[in-house]
Amino acid sequence: MNYVIIGNGPSAISAVRAIREVDLRSKLTIISDEPYLNYSRPLISYLLSKRIEKDKMPFCQENFYEENQVQLILNKRAKSLDVKEKNIILSHKERIPFDRLLIATGGAPIIPEFRGRDLFGIFTFTKLQDAEEIARYIRYNKVKEAVVVGGGLIGLKAAEAIIELKIKVTIVELADRILAATFDKNASSVIEVALEKIGGNLLTNNTAVEIKSKDKRVSEVILRDKKRIRAELVIVAIGVRPEIEVVKGTSIKTNKGILVNNFMQTNIKDIYAAGDCCEAKDSLLGINRPIPIWPVAASQGKVAGYNMAGVKREYSGSFTMNSIELCGIPTISVGQTYPQKKGYEVLEYFDKDKPIYKRIVLKNNRIVGAIFLGDIERAGIYTGLIKDRVDAGSFKEHLLKEDFGLIILPKEYRKHLVTGTGIEV
């Protein structure tokens, strides 16, 4: 069996581990379009702010590929697929054959239309290379002021990193508040206050329409409301979309991302997809959609790996979840944090001074979403309750209490959770 994986992120590595658990003999190849052995994308903001050194970027050991007998092809981009012949076409017409393929190409940043987008000094922020180039640019050009377009997770992390480098940053967000896709109004407001406290400048209900240059480099950003901001560096972070370039023109069905079933298979036999590039089951919403978050990508990769190696494993589905510390405030948000429709019950606890914010969203007495800011103790229990669809009717009023724990949960559920199924306690 000849396994090939396009991609070298968490999905790919999980898939390798799963395959090698079952099949130690077959050939296993990873094709990555980046030159690095391995690295964790979420860490690039820490690399930029110099909180960590480059040697901390890998998330698996150096000898991982050797130990797992993986042939690693770096710096080669998979341009397209020949589905019938089962070949991957690399950039310079080189072909790699496969028996079973996993597409784990991840996501790509969305670049909006605005004038001046090809100037020097405009960057996206998703790859290690981006962090290195930004750092170099900042040093070389002695950047003092910057603009970040996009107040989402990536934009804010980038802004935080640049503020730490003592550069004045203005964040421009299209919605009426930052993190509109992840948080509710209260949570967003806490981060907005914190951001301004550390020196960030926030402009909402706005976006960049044109970037002006001086000596071919960025010098000014013009906003929708005609405001002009001086900037020597612009980071565009308005969102990511699944990277599905490689399947363009093939018979592989896609929507926004590559469509997969509950066994991570595409519509083509022997071709699988996992991670940010695919649309897999969202167990909370009951539909398939991309969920671009690390733990989800890792678990999808694992399921894909097992199925590729002949072990039938069904993916139970996942849901949105994010853990991110912003301006020194830890935050965890899972599930539907801010549903707009009717029929949801919301429990809140808000202490503006500490700040601590807790929000639980329920539907039919089942938890469907939660936000924790400031105090994230034991947040995972709520994630588990969402996943297992536990009826919280009998202990709803305890959910936000300080002493909430497994002891509040129904005895039977708790006993089996703690000791594993089939063991009598």
Nearer to another protein, 252 or 274 (CB): 274
Asked if 16 is part of the footprint of another protein (rule: CB under 8 A), the reply reads: no
Provide DSSP, 233-284: EEEE-S-EEE--GGGTTSS--BSSSEE--TTSB-SSTTEEE-GGGEEEEETT
The binder of another protein chosen from 68, 72, 174, 330 (CB under 8 A):
330
Q: How many Å apart are CA 367 and CA 266, to the nearest integer?
A: 31
CB 203 within 8 A of CB 189: no
Provide the edge-to-edge strand list for the sheet that holds 366-373: 321-326, 329-335, 366-373, 356-363, 345-351
Single-letter amino acid code for the residue at 64: F
Choices 40-48, 87-95, 250-258, 350-358; region in contact with another protein by CB under 8 A: 40-48
Instruction: State the binding string over 355-394 for another protein (x if CB under 8 A, else -).
Output: ---------------------xxxxxx-xx--x-------
Q: How many Å apart are CA 163 and CA 380, to the nearest integer?
A: 31
Is residue 131 helix, strand or coil? Answer: helix
Cis peptide before 355 (omega within 30 of 0): yes
Q: How many Å apart are CA 306 and CA 199, to the nearest integer?
A: 48
Asked if 49 is part of the footprint of another protein (rule: CB under 8 A), the reply reads: no
The binder of another protein chosen from 218, 324, 329, 371 (CB under 8 A):
324
Asked if 46 is part of the footprint of another protein (rule: CB under 8 A), the reply reads: yes
Q: Token match 């519509």: residue? A: 267
CB of 285 to another protein, least distance (A): 19
CB of 295 to another protein, least distance (A): 4
Choices 53-61, 147-155, 182-190, 278-286; region in contact with another protein by CB under 8 A: 53-61
Q: How many Å apart are CA 126 and CA 386, to the nearest integer?
A: 30
Nearer to another protein, 51 or 224 (CB): 51
The binder of another protein chosen from 34, 42, 108, 283 (CB under 8 A):
42
The binder of another protein chosen from 97, 310, 393, 405 (CB under 8 A):
405
The binder of another protein chosen from 94, 325, 348, 397 (CB under 8 A):
325
Q: How many Å apart are CA 54 and CA 56, to the nearest integer?
A: 5
Choices 21-29, 167-175, 315-323, 345-353; region in contact with another protein by CB under 8 A: 315-323
Cα–Cα distances in Å, from 397 out to 15, 385, 404?
41, 15, 10
Asked if 202 is part of the footprint of another protein (rule: CB under 8 A), the reply reads: no
Asked if 52 is part of the footprint of another protein (rule: CB under 8 A), the reply reads: yes
Length in residues, the chain: 425
The binder of another protein chosen from 171, 260, 304, 321 (CB under 8 A):
321
Choices 94-102, 180-188, 213-221, 292-300; region in contact with another protein by CB under 8 A: 292-300
Choices 51-59, 105-113, 232-240, 275-283; region in contact with another protein by CB under 8 A: 51-59
Q: Total residues at the site for another protein (CB under 8 A)?
A: 42
Choices 57-65, 75-83, 212-220, 249-257; region in contact with another protein by CB under 8 A: 57-65
Phi–psi pair at 419, nearest 5 degrees: -105, -5
For residue 297, which of 260, 327, 330, 346 has the smallest C-alpha distance? Answer: 260
Residues in a beta bridge with 87: 82, 97
The binder of another protein chosen from 2, 40, 189, 213 (CB under 8 A):
40
Choices 173-181, 246-254, 278-286, 328-336; region in contact with another protein by CB under 8 A: 328-336
Asked if 68 is part of the footprint of another protein (rule: CB under 8 A), the reply reads: no
Single-letter amino acid code for the residue at 84: K
Asked if 418 is part of the footprint of another protein (rule: CB under 8 A), the reply reads: yes
Asked if 14 is part of the footprint of another protein (rule: CB under 8 A), the reply reads: yes
Count other Cβ atoms within 10 Å, centred on residue 378: 11
CB of 232 to another protein, least distance (A): 28
Residues in a beta bridge with 332: 323, 372
Asked if 194 is part of the footprint of another protein (rule: CB under 8 A), the reply reads: no
Instruction: State the binding string over 247-286 for another protein (x if CB under 8 A, else -).
Output: ----------------------------------------
Please, what's the b/e burial string for 59-75 (b: 16 or more CB within 10 A of its CB; e: otherwise)? bbeeebbeebebeebee
CB 272 within 8 A of CB 103: yes
Nearer to another protein, 61 or 251 (CB): 61
Measured torsion, CA atoms of residues 206, 210, 214, 218, in degrees rounded to the nearest 10 = 60
Q: How many Å apart are CA 133 and CA 192, to the nearest integer?
A: 28
Per CB under 8 A, residues contacting another protein are 10, 14, 40, 42-43, 46, 51-52, 56, 58-61, 294-295, 298-299, 302, 321-325, 330, 332, 334, 376-381, 383-384, 387, 403, 405-408, 417-418
